[in-house]
Structure 1
Amino acid sequence: MHTSSLQQNILAELDHELANTRKMLERVPFEQADFKPHPKSMSLWQLATHVVNLLAFKTLFVQANSRDFLDPNAPKPGPTPTSKEELLSRFDEYSTILIEALHSSNDEKLTNHFQLHRGDQILMDRPKGAALRIMGLNHSIHHRGQLSVYLRLLDIPVPGFYGPSADEAGGF
């Protein structure tokens, strides 16, 4: 009987979700970067950039043991991309770094805890693998879902992720 490791499972899930996320980002129209479906919403470009920058956060879960939001020396994402090409280039770069970090890790390291805090306030304390799935993958999938609504409202065909979308043959 063959058993998959935690690391292998995360890599397989990540491979699938990264491909879907890139399909979505390829459709984001830079010329409508300021679009907001509601005053409380992020702009289209802020949301797309956040989806990309979350990849660096996922890498942090794998490579570090903690992150303090109040630490002025903590790693920060680069400046906001100024074109779709720049956004996709950052996505590809951050994806590669994350995959390499996961390949350099192992199941034992992924069961070590990662702590997210703001000064003395602990926001999250979970095994790295769980942090990666909950605050990394699930968080990204949530925001990708928001992006799909933005695209729908802009009348841009939404790609299918787990089967065809309503914009593709056989979709519903």
Structure 2
Amino acid sequence: MELHTVEKTKQKNMDIIKLLLKEYEAEFNTTKKFLALVPADKFDWAPHEKSMKMKSLTVHIADLPRWVTLALTTDGLDFETAPYTEPSVESTDDLVKILEENYVQGKADLEKATEENLNGRWVLSMGKQVLADYSKYETIRHSLSQTSHHRAQLGVYLRLLDIPIPGSYGPSADDQNF
């Protein structure tokens, strides 16, 4: 009886990881389509003075899959001791390369993960100020949510620049004859 319970627990663990991997891959593929459309000559453009510049927004989007690795290989991130440095990007290809590298590493780390890993604590801080206190699973989910959130922002940027937008979770208005 105990062996059956252990097997059910292993199956549950694999289901969670398989689901995360499936979602992670889908978000990567959609995000790659969006980043491939970003015109490098518009890197300094923003739709509003309070908005991020196109380059910073897209580098952040390309960097988000790295948070899967951060969640699974660290117990947190302190911006006071490890300030964020935006990767150098000169072209659209550079953006896509950053996204691909981060995705490949995150996927490899997620494939090696166990449910025990997902239950571990992960803290984002700025010195003594705690910005987020999540399980590692919640950190991964948060990074996926951040990806779709910021990709939607990018969709607005692209729309305002009159660049056709690919579908994310189905066809976009540009994918159909409306």
Taking structure 1 as the reference length, the TM-score comes to 0.90
- Please point out which of 159, 162, 167 is paired with 1:155: 162
Measured in 2, the distance between the counterparts of 1:165 and 1:146 equals: 15
| Superposed CA RMSD | 1.9
**Deviation for aligned residue 1:164:** 0.6
**One-letter amino acid of the counterpart of residue 167, structure 2:** G
Q: Unaligned regions of 5+ residues in structure 1, if any?
A: none
- Once the two structures are superposed, residues 25-82 of structure 1 have per-residue CA deviations (whole angstroms, 9 ceiling, x without a partner) of 01111111111100011111111111012222332012111111111xx385563211
Describe the SS at the equivalent of 2:134.
strand
Equivalent residue, structure 2, for 1:113:
121
Equivalent residue, structure 1, for 2:148:
141
Q: Structure 2 vs 1, CA of residues 42 and 76 (structure 1 numbering), >3 Å: closer, same or farther?
A: closer
Taking only the aligned residue pairs, the percentage that are identical comes to: 36
Aligned length: 168
Answer yes or no: is the 8 Å Cα contact 1:112–1:128 preserved in 2: yes
Runs of 4+ in 1 over 4 A off after TM superposition: 1-4, 75-78
Measured in 1, the distance between the counterparts of 2:46 and 2:126 equals: 29
- Please point out which of 4, 7, 11 is paired with 2:21: 11
Answer yes or no: is the 8 Å Cα contact 1:5–1:107 preserved in 2: no
Superposed counterparts of 1:1-172, under 5 Å: 5-71=15-81, 74=82, 76=84, 79-134=87-142, 136-169=143-176
**Deviation for aligned residue 1:149:** 0.3
Describe the SS at the equivalent of 1:5.
helix
Measured in 1, the distance between the counterparts of 2:55 and 2:26 equals: 23
**One-letter amino acid of the counterpart of residue 153, structure 1:** L
- Once the two structures are superposed, residues 5-32 of structure 1 have per-residue CA deviations (whole angstroms, 9 ceiling, x without a partner) of 2211111110111100001001111111
Answer yes or no: is the 8 Å Cα contact 2:56–2:86 preserved in 1: no
- Once the two structures are superposed, residues 98-144 of structure 1 have per-residue CA deviations (whole angstroms, 9 ceiling, x without a partner) of 1011112111111111111111222211111111102x010111100
Q: Structure 2 vs 1, CA of residues 81 and 95 (structure 1 numbering), >3 Å: closer, same or farther?
A: same
